[in-house]
Amino acid sequence: MSGPAYARTLAERARAAGATIRTNATVTGWAGDRVIEATTPQGRIRVEARAVVLATGARERPRSARLIPGDRPRGVYTTGHLQNLVHLRHGGVGRRAVVAGAEPVSWSAALTLREAGCRTVLMTTEYPRPEAPFLFTVPGRIFFGTRVATRTRVSRIIGRPRLRAVEVENLDTGERRIVACDTLVLTGDWVPDHELARLGGIALDPGTKGPVVDGALRTDRPGVFAAGNVLHPVDTADVAALDGAHVARSVLAWLRGRDTPAGQVPLVAGAPFRWVSPEVVRPGDPAPPRGHLLLWSDRYIPFPRIVVRQGGRVVARRRLWWPTAPGRVFRVPAGVLARIDPEGGPVTVGAEP
């Protein structure tokens, strides 16, 4: 299904289920625990709900947040900005691009650039190997003629008013060189759109930077839930959609008066992981969405051994046959938590080669 067809299908299903969809509406804040305020083309509205689901997604950090020095020319985009320009507004970009990042979304940017008649001459990644699986990288090299420079960052932006080149730096040798290009796409480096959670005083996880949730996707505010990439930047669209089905069951249970189970065990990301989602498990709750814990690794380990510890004791060890790799979500079957003690305090999930 194409993206627009997929979006239309979901919108039709939501309407058929009785939802009112307000487009061009921005939720600006809270006027109570489950009361939101929004700005719409028809004016400001206030909606009081028995349950609220935050599903505000994630975005790529723009140039300013990445602190790349240099000129401020035209021709610098994030993938979201680029795809909006090319697919929705049918605007043109340049002819020769550098893409910062080598994640799956970076290849999505390269595809969009190709559609707009622009060749991706170089991709850069600060990691020792491309983040995207070789299924992206090998055909990308053959069909797009795109080289991936590892351990490399964009260190300067050059050109005014239009981009002329970027300077790239090898992080191991410190060597710098100039690459001529008229388009730069900054990909990956995700951050959840967590502003509403923050405004509402809902607990945020310093690792994911999204709201802290349990396996039922409840936040720490009763009746407020969160789902999709606001929780785990960034997973694929299918996973975000399935989070929706999972959270719907939790919302229905809440509306029917089911209480949150007492007691909770915090989950903590151990090396090489940056974060784990959900951050809390509750005895008596269903397994997390799709029966998996999601984690984000800073290190490539081809066949990692997962080690789960509680109170200094190893409670599970399991070899998995898929790699931990920077730039993509890593999934661990939630069964590794089967032997944790509900009263035993925080549980750390780590991995070793």
Ligand X SMILES: Cc1cc2nc3c(=O)[nH]c(=O)nc-3n(C[C@H](O)[C@H](O)[C@H](O)COP(=O)(O)OP(=O)(O)OC[C@H]3O[C@@H](n4cnc5c(N)ncnc54)[C@H](O)[C@@H]3O)c2cc1C
Q: Tell me the closest approach of the beta carbon of residue 277 to ligand X, in angstroms.
A: 12
Q: What is the DSSP string of 63-110?
A: HHHHT--B---B-EEEHHHHHIIIIIS-----SEEEEE--SHHHHHHH
Q: Which is nearer to ligand X, 295 or 351 (CB)?
A: 295
| Residue 266, C-beta contacts closer than 8 angstroms, at least 6 positions apart | 279, 280, 345, 346, 347
Q: Which is nearer to ligand X, 59 or 209 (CB)?
A: 59
Q: Tell me the closest approach of the beta carbon of residue 56 to ligand X, in angstroms.
A: 4
Q: Tell me the closest approach of the beta carbon of residue 161 to ligand X, in angstroms.
A: 25
- C-beta neighbour count of 286 within 10 angstroms: 14
Q: Which is nearer to ligand X, 120 or 310 (CB)?
A: 120
Q: Which is nearer to ligand X, 108 or 150 (CB)?
A: 108
Q: Tell me the closest approach of the beta carbon of residue 30 to ligand X, in angstroms.
A: 11
Q: Which candidate, 100, 115, 83, 97, places its Cα nearest to that of 163?
A: 97
Does the N-terminal peptide bond of residue 278 adopt cis geometry, omega within 30 degrees of 0?
A: yes
C-alpha–C-alpha distance, residues 75 and 188, integer Å:
18
Binding site residues, ligand X, CB under 6 A:
26-27, 55-60, 79-80, 83, 105, 108, 193, 196, 228-229, 234, 236-237, 240
Q: Which is nearer to ligand X, 93 or 196 (CB)?
A: 196
**Integer angstrom CA distances of residue 124 from 106, 121, 170, 184, 296:** 10, 10, 10, 11, 20
Q: Which is nearer to ligand X, 275 or 337 (CB)?
A: 275
Q: Tell me the closest approach of the beta carbon of residue 224 to ligand X, in angstroms.
A: 14
| Residue 31, C-beta contacts closer than 8 angstroms, at least 6 positions apart | 37, 46
Q: Which is nearer to ligand X, 270 or 278 (CB)?
A: 278
Q: Tell me the closest approach of the beta carbon of residue 240 to ligand X, in angstroms.
A: 3
C-alpha–C-alpha distance, residues 214 and 278, integer Å:
5
- C-beta neighbour count of 41 within 10 angstroms: 8
Q: Tell me the closest approach of the beta carbon of residue 294 to ligand X, in angstroms.
A: 13
Q: Which is nearer to ligand X, 111 or 255 (CB)?
A: 111
Q: Which is nearer to ligand X, 103 or 169 (CB)?
A: 103
Q: Tell me the closest approach of the beta carbon of residue 54 to ligand X, in angstroms.
A: 9
C-alpha–C-alpha distance, residues 290 and 313, integer Å:
27
C-alpha–C-alpha distance, residues 320 and 317, integer Å:
10
Q: What is the DSSP string of 215-266?
A: TT-B-SSTTEEE-GGGTSS---HHHHHHHHHHHHHHHHHHHTTPPPPS--EE
Q: Tell me the closest approach of the beta carbon of residue 228 to ligand X, in angstroms.
A: 2
